Structure 1
């Protein structure tokens, strides 16, 4: 089993930020987000709306072309049985651990469901892709991307924490 910690959640509408904070107890903040599809690539930038500080920006090319090597490597990590199970599932289920301090005095787990129409995974290629963190806690982590995942027709359902 795997769980994900929700940390540094940004949304681009005040209504969604309020919903995430007040009903789901997530530490959401408002962002100024720009995503532009041009040719065979995507350019994106996300800024904290309150401070105008950059959060993340970058470009990816050939986003809809999956890498066979990345796919086979992922198959090796998951195993054949788990890969077939995920391929047949109508959605992917993930448990997300809510952070402390928004509305909860202790961590709670919320179940989420995701589905997408297109899923393409590639290895990060510094000649074709860029990814830059702004002055956030993540910038100091020395994060170096390994893979890029492109999803189109993305659907996400996040249930109340239990």
Structure 2
């Protein structure tokens, strides 16, 4: 997960697909920026939502029953609305995340291997644009040496301590 603190505005959020459902994105850009910075940027999708393989309709996720879930609009098969390994990220979401990272003073990176690109490039965008990286992870990653601060431990323990 990444959180970018934008210059002169609220933080932007790039949640993991398994994160709890967040409120709808802001209608205007975050931090006074363009609409591409609406919050949150669901770079990897959202596990709590389904998507039709045929028409792309998104609906709240439902538990699997005896039958495969079908789209109410077209009858196509529904699947979790997440990007799986080998699938392409949504180009607009990736561009929005990169734009947000380029304007960020700080990119807080939590619990990632920082090895799967293109998402792994987002913190580097903040760094190369003059911002800083804070990494919270159980072990060192390729970001650790570049981070202004790297805290190694479980996010559930480290983050509450950082807020104190």
Same fold (TM over 0.5): no
* TM-score tier (shorter): under 0.3
TM-score (norm 1): 0.20
